[in-house]
Amino acid sequence: MSTSQTANEYPPLERLPAHVGIIMDGNGRWACARNLPRLAGHRAGVENLRRVLRAAVELGVPILTLYAFSTENWRRPEEEVRGLLRILSEALDKEVDELHKNGVQLRHIGSLEPLPDDLKQRIDAAVALTRDNQQLIANIAFNYGGRAELVRAVQRIVAQGIPVEEITEATIAEHLYTAGLPDPDLIIRPGGEMRVSNFLVWQGAYAEYYVTPTFWPDFDKAAFYQALVDFNQRNRRFGGLNK
């Protein structure tokens, strides 16, 4: 395919979201549909991260927040949880150098506290290595929950002794994991489920939501571009009226 054909396949859009959140859902159902174990679906989902990160760069999206493992996912069968932790650890070993070379800045949002020490070290090392990269900011939400994030923010505000009358929405935003970043303009949910699942509950207050039946392992550049096309057609009023 020629360069011009490639460009025409994904023509530039008038508006691009500065920040896109993605709930990476449907790995288990993807595997079950193929008579594979659920962990095969999770492995395929992690491998798809590379493709979506590359697509974000090519399509011009500067910030992604990817919901990989929630605070509620610990309730899943122990074997599945152990497998997920192992897959993440392997992915960090395998992918971080390439992501670093391509200018991706990796950030972790969520609590590292219950994770195995070796996985904590891998995450910390990946964040440190890519800290100064500017091509794409990729927040990996692992052991993340929106309600837990708000509790943590309130605890930090109280610990700092900030007077009640001085606490504003900006104060809370400054104590979230995403402090310093714009709120997501668009949140995408592959897999077809119509719920928020405790993802960016504060930051997503005025995000546009896009739900697709495509399972996460099959969510490719074309699917991502279609979500951006849909975003361009939205009439964003933020509680007001268009003039």
- What three-state secondary structure class fits 91? helix
Q: Is residue 19 included in any domain, yes or no? A: yes
> Which domain, by its residues, includes 26?
14-232
* Region of residue 168 (left: phi > 0; alpha: psi -120 to 50; beta: else): beta
Res 2 pLDDT > 90: no
The Cα–Cα gap between 18 and 200 comes to 15
C-beta of residue 181 within 8 angstroms of C-beta of residue 137: yes
Q: Is residue 2 included in any domain, yes or no? A: no
Q: Which of 35, 73, 102, 230 is catalytic?
A: 73
Q: Higher model confidence: residue 124 or residue 239?
A: 124
Give me the amino acid identity at 172.
I
Res 206 pLDDT > 60: yes
C-beta of residue 1 within 8 angstroms of C-beta of residue 169: no
Task: State the average pLDDT over residues 168-196.
Answer: 98
Asked if 183 is an active-site residue, the reply is no
- pLDDT single digits (tens) 106-158: 999 999 999 999 999 999 999 999 999 999 999 999 999 999 999 999 999 99
The whole-chain average pLDDT of the chain stands at: 93
- What three-state secondary structure class fits 189? strand
Q: Is residue 86 included in any domain, yes or no? A: yes
Band of residue 235 on the pLDDT scale cut at 50, 70, 90:
confident
Q: Is residue 54 included in any domain, yes or no? A: yes
**Angle at which helices 38-59 and 78-101 pack, to 10 degrees?**
30
End-to-end, the C-alpha distance of the chain in Å comes to 44
Task: State the average pLDDT over residues 177-195.
Answer: 98
- pLDDT single digits (tens) 37-87: 999 999 999 999 999 999 999 999 999 999 999 999 999 999 999 999 999
- Our CA angle for 98, 27, 226, nearest 5°, is 75
Q: Is residue 242 included in any domain, yes or no? A: no
Looking up residue 145, the CATH number of its domain turns out to be: 3.40.1180.10
Q: Is residue 200 included in any domain, yes or no? A: yes
Q: Is residue 239 included in any domain, yes or no? A: no
Q: Which of 8, 25, 132, 183 is catalytic?
A: 25
Cα–Cα distances (Å) from 222 to 13, 170, 185, 229, in that order, read 14, 36, 19, 10
Count of domains forming the chain: 1
C-beta of residue 208 within 8 angstroms of C-beta of residue 231: yes
Q: Is residue 218 included in any domain, yes or no? A: yes
Band of residue 9 on the pLDDT scale cut at 50, 70, 90:
confident
The reported pLDDT for the residue numbered 4 is 39
Band of residue 243 on the pLDDT scale cut at 50, 70, 90:
low
Asked if 73 is an active-site residue, the reply is yes
The reported pLDDT for the residue numbered 92 is 93
